[in-house]
Structures are given as structure tokens and as C-alpha cells.
Structure 1
Amino acid sequence: MSDPEIIVIGAGPNGLTAACVLARAGLDVLVLEAHPERPGGALASEQATLPGFVHDVGAAFFPFAQISPAFLDLPLAEHGLRWTFAPVDSAHPAPDGSVAILARDHDRMAACFGSPEDGAKMREIAEFHRRVEPHLLPAMLETFPAIRPALGLLPFAILRVAAIFLRSGARLSKAWFRSEAARRVIPGLALHTDVGPDDTFGSGIGYMLTAMATSGGYGVPAGGAGSITAALVGLLEHHGGRVRVGARVESVEVRGGRAEAVTLAGGESIRATKAIVSDTSAPALLGRLVDEKLLPGRVVRKMQNFAYGWGTFKVDWALDGPVPWAVDVCREAAVVHAGDSLEDLRRFTAQARGGQLPDNPYLVIGQQSVSDPSRAPAGKHALWAYSRVPSVPPGGDWAAHAERFADTIDARIEGLAPGFRERISARRVVSPADLEAMDANLVGGDLGGGSNAWYRQLVFRPIFPWFRYRTPIKALYLGSSYAHPGAGVHGMCGYNAAKMVLRDL
């Protein structure tokens, strides 16, 4: 077989998106994936607890996926991808019985958002976002600076968006809402990353996840998250590209300052005649795969001291019935977020940053089987949840803490859903160390491609001046979540990198 024109290292959603764009352009593309059995990285599904219960390995809800410019450009539905939606996209209950919900049905959301006044305000926010989203998303997600879509926000919308993004999540919520139920929503959603309620410029991610729940919604792919991977692979193969699993890249071969080939574990060398795109962590590419002697010293030092996000602790359950939430509306929600108040979220943030295991953990709880009954046998349900934790626990050994912290999570849900523990048929615990062992990109259980603090974004992601997917090595590109725009299953990191490859070619 002849040498491919393009090699893509890693078959996560960004790697596969890049491969699809390049193969569609007529290039011969080979994707090399380290996993011995499947592509997808953390975008996969498996029967992890009991037969018939399908659990998503990593990402499980996809507010970006239906409206991402990358996925809108790729005809994934033609290759089997189908979305399902719950009646409520996100529910935010507390033990005191208060609740706020996010939904594509704005009337229902307004009627259940802490108070009538806060519901009316949330409806106004949702309607504003729906008007600006067609310009705002490309401006945020395309290669920075995305000037053309940003012009669509002028003259007034861009000022309002800037006023939103320049605040902390707590300050924005206090400015907009009066009830505690409403005020915990935006800062709680920001904790999908490592952004706390009082972090400078920390409102952006919480606002976007809040607003997109009211527009595109928190969709669930029928059959599991692996359906997205399967559709991307199907599209790639349709355009003549191919994926090789069990092919771990050990190094990138550089000659004359140009990336020309990769060496696999075992010693096999594969040449790329035009370019190499890496869907790996930035430190893995710039310091391990590429000999650090070939890189500027500043880059090497930055990668050696790279700022990762928090660890992630995940639990999967097989249940013999639905979760018995005390607040009924939670039984219709795609996702339930457990964060009792702004003060509770602040305390959780301080504990996670201080190296402690939170005693009242903030939780993202996924009820995929509410909208997709194929995830569990008839009458039963699959449940998925994660919390943010230190990458390394006290004492340094997750084996000593994992089951006990999972019990804490069970108790947390029990407090919101009395009788929950009686419905557990099986449980699987996944620590940050387990996540990294499953996918080398999830360093220390970091789901976000590095810290999402404001000073790690835009021109600083992953390092200035290499924020536009090129690297210090010619013909070598970074197309993972460690590049702009970062975390989320939207494919835009790989999509933008592929566009840059095509521009350079």
C-alpha cells in the first residue's frame, strides 16, 4: 500500500472530523488509533455494568453537536446518526425541594425556573440567545479570530455578549436572578470545566451551556455516544479514508524541520507525504512525540509545566427502575445537576482545588435512557454521573478512595431521590487514573484539554503564537481539544485544523 498523504494521530471526535474533511477534499487519509479494539477515544459506549445496559464511556450529552459548524457541514445522519431528546434538557434540584429547569420549550422552562420573575428573565435570555446564536457560535468556535461571523453580532449584540462574558458566573447570576434555584444554574454548568463561581471572566462557559440547552438542547445519540464515532468512521470510509486500530504512535519523525513520518510501537515507520494532524494532548505532541531538541526552549518549558484541568470521577449504574427523584420534573430530564446553592458550589470548588475529595460533590447526572430506551432492558434504566475531583487524591492512590467516594455520590443522589440505592443492580466506578488509562488524552482525568481558565484560551491555547493549529514543526498540526476552541464534542478543533492544512497545501 502506498504512503498516505495525511496521517491523523488519534481517532477521537476531533481526529475523525479532521480526517473526514481532508478525505472529502480528495486526500488519502490514514487515522492511527492506539486503542486495540475501537476508534473514538472517550466518545464510545459499552455494556459496562450488566448485559443490556449501555453506558457512555466519556462524553454523553452534546449541546454543541447538533449546531456545531463542523457537524452541520458533515452529513452524519446519512451514516446512521440519530438524535433523541428528553422533555426537559437540564434540571437543577436541591434538597429543599426547589428546582430550576432548562428546556427547549420556553413556556415550560419559564414556569419552573425558581420564581415567576426569574422564569420571565430566563425566557428573555433564551430568546436573545436564539437570535444571536447563528453568529455567536461560529465566532466562538471557528479559527480565532473569526471576524466574519463576529460582524453579524454588530452593533449592539456584541456589546451585550461581552458584558455577559466579562463577569464571573456568580456575579452574572446575581445580576439576573433573585431565587437561589435560578442563581445556581449558570455557575453550576460552568463546573463542567474547572471554572468556579467566582473566577474572573468565568461566566462564558456557564452561559453557553445554559443558553444552548434552550436552543439545540442536550441531545442523546440513539444507541450510545459511540453512534457519533460510527457515523464519522462511516463518512471517512465513504471518502476513501481508513482507520487502523491498535496502532500506537511513539514518535513523529522530523527531517529538515518538517514532519515526514511516524513511528509506531514495535518500530514500524509510516510516511505522510503531505501533513500530520495530531489529536493528542499538546504536551504529548510537543515534547514526547516530537523530540524536544527540535522545539523552541519556551515551548518545551511550557509543555513541561502545562496547566491541566481538574480530574473527573465517573460512576455508571444499572437500575431496576427510574431514579425516584423527589422533585417530579427531574424524572423527565436528560441531565440532572446536583448543586444546592452558590455557597455549596463555592465550597465544592475550594475543596477540589485544595486537593480534597468533596464531601457534598457537585454532580452531572445523565439519564440517557429517558429519551433513548435502547440503553437498558424494558422497565430498567442506565444512569451515568461524574464529579470533579483532584487528579491525585489524598495519599496519591485512587484504589484507597474510589469505592468510598462512589458511596458518597450514591448518598448525594439518595438525598435528592429517596430510595435510589434500593434500585441499584450494579455499579461501575471509574477514577481519574482509570480515565487516563482508557484514553491518554485525559491526563489525570482532565476532560477539557487543559485548564479552561480565561488566560488559557484564544491566543494562549495551547501557547502563543501557535494558536492556529500549526506547530513549530512544518507540516505538523495540533487538532485536539488542547487547541481552540477547546473542550466539547463539536469537532471544531479537528475541523479548523483540517481547514488550516488545506489552506497551507
Structure 2
Amino acid sequence: MAGDPDAIVIGSGPNGLVAACMLARAGLRVLVCEANPRRWGGALGSEEATLPGFVHDVGAAFFPFPRISPAFRALELEKHVELCFAEFESCHPAPDGSVACISRDLDVCARNFGDPRDGETFAALARWYRGVEPAVLGILLNTLPTIAPVLKLLPFGIFKLARILLSSGGGLARRLFRGEAARRVMPGLALHVDVGPRDPLGAALGFMLGMTATTGGYSIPRGGAQAMADAMVADLRRHGGEIRLASRVDRILTEGRRAVGVRLADGTELRAARRAVLADTAAASLLLDLVERDLVPRRVVRFMEKFPQGWGTFKVDWALSSPVPWSVPEARRAAVVHAGDSLADLERFTAQVRRGELPDNPYLVVGQQTLADPTRAPAGKHTLWAYSRVPSRPAGGWQAHAQAFADRVDARIEGLAPGFRSTVLARRIVAPPDLEAMDANLVGGDLGGGSNAWHRQLIFRPLFPYFRHRMPVEGLYLCSSYAHPGAGVHGMCGYNAAHVALRDLG
């Protein structure tokens, strides 16, 4: 890029790449600085992590948003990434043989959601959601405040939505469903982040993940999640933007109280001609480490020093000689299997993690990418991907616990799929410190951009009054999942931040 860029984006996770693409499409010359020396994408990537020929997603793996997110639709991402789907999006088995499944075909869903009455209830809810999804996504994903989408739900839809979103996950499940198989589904989905079944106003995330599974589906990018990051970088380059690997930013350059560029760890200074710097970083890292402290209000500094991170994440990758031999046949046809035995089991799991204990019956999110995308493994072989939520720093440290907890994860799957261990060719353990080493935004293995409790959302994300992406330093914008609308690979944090920056630049 000859001359200074107009805008600089720090970090090339999905939100940083979306922000960069939107700025470039608006005619700005954009430079993305990425610390990783080997690849872009942050936690959106893939690599041969166990054995040659076995491609594993390093972080995010299943995507409901490529077809329905305004950000990805603006980039026409689906034209450039081949999406694969399994027969079932999500399967929720238990040791007692009960099972509930989510499918994009609502008739199939109704027949496979535990009790037939519960199946009809879930399918009816999903049909209602399909009719209001654009308005609901407009309310939950766009830059606040979002008045127009609210008006589209009047007079009755907004009250139905509010009654759902103002519930706890367990409370909503008990109100809607009769059987335990159905009741564990949405509270289990909410445990993708740090939201337990009893948490006030905790139903929103599980409800949205359940509903978007029936619309966008849990898509699997052919070849690996890296394909999504590669497609966004290609779009950036088509519109004149550039990306630099091995370019860790260690300081925001300022003049007066305005951001004017960045300094890299090797001392290189890069100026932004239009004086716009967008940070796809952790909020605390941005405002405590990258910006001079005297430019940040003291109450903001105090808050960032005790920033409420979410739980840690413990991930395991396996290379398998054959598919997982699940006891329930539905699980053998599902993109994702969620291991949570009951509401009581999920509540107990939540309490253990919050006490700083390693759970003895870990809730698992298990990904079976090669069922839909066989290109990720040698012929006849399979990959498997799973994570559980854990304390970021257990007593004694992860070096003392990682192998034993991975064995506990293996045993959990073995209990639902007798013979699983005999299929394992290789195993890789990724504990919370390993995730943070891979991507500095995953502080303590937190994959949700900080806590996703109700009081850390909307105007409180990352903190009031900085919920509209503008930071205390003029020309500096937070575009990561630490900003509204938070966790998930939807690109909307970057999309919204780019639009705010473009408005400010006139």
C-alpha cells in the first residue's frame, strides 16, 4: 500500500475482517495488523492438529449466521464459501437413552424432539420465529438503540419475545416443555458461554441458538473454518485493503486526545490518514495496555482492571478411525452433539465451574465436522472436536490437570458412545492457557468476549456509555465481541463499528 492507509484495524478475527471489508467497500484504504505470523482469522481457523490429513477447526466450528447475518450477507459470504450440513443440526442425548434433536426441517424436528407434544411445541415456536427473524435480529444485532425493528413486532410480537428473553433458561424450558429431553436443549445451548439454567434473563442465548439452528442451520465450511477467514481477506483485497501478519500492535498513537495510528512491537509506526483505528481486541487490553492511561477516565480504568471475563474453555481434538459409535442413532447424523443429561445436571455443572471446580460430569459441545465434510480427513477416517466450560485457572494450574480432565472428557463420550476410545488414533488437548496463547482475545480461555450475563449485555457491553463502539479516545473504536452484540461468529460487532466510524468520518 503506497502511502498511509486511511484506517487501521487491529486484529483479523471475524469481526476485525468484517470491519475492514466494510471500510474498504466504502472507499477507504484499509490496513489490518495481525499478530499471528502464520495465518489470519484469530479463533476462526483450521489446521492439521493431530495427524497429517486431519483438519481441525482451532476455535469456532459451526455457523448459523453465514446466511442470516446482515454482515455476512453484505459481504455475500455464502457465494465464496461452500457450506455443508448434516441431517440434524444439534442432538441432545442422555445416558438413559432419551434424545431431542433440532433440524431445519420442522416436521423432522417435531418428530425427534423427545415427547411428541414437546416436538410440536418447539416446531410451532420455530415457525413463529421464522416469521419474525429479521425484526428479532435487527433488535439484537444492530447498533443500539434499535427502534425500527421493535416497531415491526408491534403490537403482539414484542410481548411474546420479551416474555421469552426475560426468562431464565430453565424457567423457559419448564414453561414450554413437559419432558426432560426437550427441557435440556435450550439451557444446554446457553452454556456455549457463561449462562446457566437458573441465571436471571438467561434464556435469550439458548433461545436464539435453538431458533437460528432451524433457519441458518449449523453450517460447516468445506475444508475448514479457515475458508471463512480466507474469503473475507479475499474480499478485503479485492477492494484495495491489505493485511500484515506478524504485526503485533503494542500502542495506539495519539495526538491530543485522538487516535492517529499504531506502533508495532518491532517499533514500526503506522499512521492512519483519516485517523480511524478499529480494535478487534479484548476491551481491557485495549484500554489498559494499548492506550495511554491518562487518556482513559479513571472509572473506566478501575472497571477494566477487574473486567468480568467469562468462563474458561477446555477443548480436545481427536483423529478417529471411524465415526463415533453413539448409542442413539440420531447422534450419528448430527453436526453437533450436546452432552448434558438434564436440567439438574446442567445446574450442577454450572455451580461447580462457578466454585472454581473442574466438573466431574462435564457438559460437552461435540462437533462432527467430517460427517458433512469428508474432505477434512483421509478416506474412511474422521475428526472430532469438543469443548467444555471450566474455571480459567483451577487450583494447581492446568499443567497439573489437563491430561486427567481430557480423560474425563473421553469417559463422558464413552458413556454415550461405548467403544469410542477404540476409535481414537490421536488426541490433542487445548487448555485455556493454550487458547489465550493462540488468540490474545481469548483471555483465560474465555471465548465469549467477556461475561455474557444479562447485566453485561446491551448498553453495558463493554460498559456504559461506550456501548456504541466509540472509545474514550476520539477516532478509536472497539469492534470485537467485547462490544455489542457480543459472542458468536456473526461479524456484527465489526459491521456496526465500521458504520459508526464511517458516519464519524462523514
TM-score (norm 2): 0.99
Corresponding residue for residue 215 of structure 1: 215
| Structure 2 CA distance for aligned equivalents of residues 149 and 387 of structure 1 | 35
Corresponding residue for residue 388 of structure 1: 389
| Structure 2 CA distance for aligned equivalents of residues 147 and 246 of structure 1 | 42
Shift of residue 97, structure 1, vs aligned partner: 0.2
| Structure 2 CA distance for aligned equivalents of residues 215 and 255 of structure 1 | 47
| Structure 2 CA distance for aligned equivalents of residues 336 and 469 of structure 1 | 35
Shift of residue 150, structure 1, vs aligned partner: 2.0
| Structure 1 CA distance for aligned equivalents of residues 78 and 496 of structure 2 | 21
Corresponding residue for residue 188 of structure 1: 188
Corresponding residue for residue 85 of structure 1: 85
For the 8 Å contact 1:15–1:494, the answer to whether it is kept is yes
1:455 equivalenced with 2:455 (yes/no): yes
> Which stretch shows the higher mean deviation, 301-310 or 103-112?
103-112
Q: How does 1:333-372 map to 2 (within 5 A)?
A: 333-372=334-373
Shift of residue 237, structure 1, vs aligned partner: 0.2
What secondary structure, in the 3-state scheme, does the structure 2 residue paired with 1:214 have? Answer: helix
- 1:395-417 Cα shifts (integer Å, max 9, x gaps): 2x211110110000000000000
Task: Look up the equivalent residue of 2:332 and give its one-letter code.
Answer: R
Corresponding residue for residue 114 of structure 1: 114
Corresponding residue for residue 52 of structure 2: 51
For the 8 Å contact 2:327–2:418, the answer to whether it is kept is yes
Task: Look up the equivalent residue of 1:474 and give its one-letter code.
Answer: E
- 1:321-377 Cα shifts (integer Å, max 9, x gaps): 000000001000000000000010011000100000000000000001111111111
1:317 equivalenced with 2:287 (yes/no): no
Shift of residue 292, structure 1, vs aligned partner: 1.1
Aligned residues between the structures: 503
Percent identity between the two aligned chains: 63
- 1:144-164 Cα shifts (integer Å, max 9, x gaps): 111112221111111000000
Shift of residue 39, structure 1, vs aligned partner: 0.7
- 1:3-53 Cα shifts (integer Å, max 9, x gaps): 111000001100000000000010000000000111100100000001111
Task: Look up the equivalent residue of 2:331 and give its one-letter code.
Answer: C
What secondary structure, in the 3-state scheme, does the structure 2 residue paired with 1:428 have? Answer: strand
Shift of residue 279, structure 1, vs aligned partner: 0.3
Shift of residue 64, structure 1, vs aligned partner: 2.3
What secondary structure, in the 3-state scheme, does the structure 1 residue paired with 2:109 have? Answer: helix
Corresponding residue for residue 421 of structure 2: 421
Corresponding residue for residue 328 of structure 2: 327
Corresponding residue for residue 28 of structure 2: 27
| Structure 1 CA distance for aligned equivalents of residues 97 and 184 of structure 2 | 14
Corresponding residue for residue 178 of structure 2: 178
Task: Look up the equivalent residue of 2:289 and give its one-letter code.
Answer: R
Task: Look up the equivalent residue of 1:413 and give its one-letter code.
Answer: I
| Structure 1 CA distance for aligned equivalents of residues 101 and 120 of structure 2 | 13
What secondary structure, in the 3-state scheme, does the structure 2 residue paired with 1:348 have? Answer: helix
| Structure 1 CA distance for aligned equivalents of residues 77 and 119 of structure 2 | 35
Shift of residue 105, structure 1, vs aligned partner: 1.0
| Structure 2 CA distance for aligned equivalents of residues 38 and 465 of structure 1 | 35
Corresponding residue for residue 438 of structure 1: 438
| Structure 2 CA distance for aligned equivalents of residues 66 and 293 of structure 1 | 43
Corresponding residue for residue 153 of structure 1: 153
- 1:201-229 Cα shifts (integer Å, max 9, x gaps): 00000100111111111111111000000
| Structure 2 CA distance for aligned equivalents of residues 171 and 10 of structure 1 | 39
1:495 equivalenced with 2:498 (yes/no): no
For the 8 Å contact 2:66–2:78, the answer to whether it is kept is no
| Structure 2 CA distance for aligned equivalents of residues 161 and 64 of structure 1 | 20
For the 8 Å contact 1:334–1:368, the answer to whether it is kept is yes
Task: Look up the equivalent residue of 1:303 and give its one-letter code.
Answer: M
| Structure 2 CA distance for aligned equivalents of residues 379 and 155 of structure 1 | 54
> Which stretch shows the higher mean deviation, 40-49 or 64-73?
64-73
Task: Look up the equivalent residue of 1:433 and give its one-letter code.
Answer: P
Task: Look up the equivalent residue of 1:446 and give its one-letter code.
Answer: D
| Structure 1 CA distance for aligned equivalents of residues 343 and 58 of structure 2 | 30
Shift of residue 378, structure 1, vs aligned partner: 1.0
| Structure 1 CA distance for aligned equivalents of residues 273 and 4 of structure 2 | 7
Structure 2 residues without counterparts, runs of 5 or longer: none
For the 8 Å contact 1:348–1:361, the answer to whether it is kept is yes
| Structure 2 CA distance for aligned equivalents of residues 150 and 85 of structure 1 | 32
Task: Look up the equivalent residue of 1:461 and give its one-letter code.
Answer: R
1:464 equivalenced with 2:464 (yes/no): yes
Corresponding residue for residue 233 of structure 2: 233
Shift of residue 245, structure 1, vs aligned partner: 0.3
Task: Look up the equivalent residue of 1:163 and give its one-letter code.
Answer: R
Corresponding residue for residue 5 of structure 1: 6
Task: Look up the equivalent residue of 1:389 and give its one-letter code.
Answer: V
| Structure 2 CA distance for aligned equivalents of residues 490 and 120 of structure 1 | 29
| Structure 2 CA distance for aligned equivalents of residues 375 and 133 of structure 1 | 32
Task: Look up the equivalent residue of 1:149 and give its one-letter code.
Answer: P
Task: Look up the equivalent residue of 2:230 and give its one-letter code.
Answer: A
| Structure 1 CA distance for aligned equivalents of residues 63 and 216 of structure 2 | 9
Structure 1 residues without counterparts, runs of 5 or longer: none
For the 8 Å contact 1:77–1:231, the answer to whether it is kept is no
Shift of residue 77, structure 1, vs aligned partner: 3.7
For the 8 Å contact 2:4–2:272, the answer to whether it is kept is yes
| Structure 1 CA distance for aligned equivalents of residues 465 and 28 of structure 2 | 28
TM-score (norm 1): 0.99
Distance 1:416 1:494, change over 3 A: same
| Structure 2 CA distance for aligned equivalents of residues 120 and 18 of structure 1 | 40
Shift of residue 121, structure 1, vs aligned partner: 0.5
Shift of residue 466, structure 1, vs aligned partner: 0.7
| Structure 2 CA distance for aligned equivalents of residues 128 and 77 of structure 1 | 25
Shift of residue 65, structure 1, vs aligned partner: 2.7
| Structure 1 CA distance for aligned equivalents of residues 17 and 298 of structure 2 | 31
Task: Look up the equivalent residue of 2:403 and give its one-letter code.
Answer: E
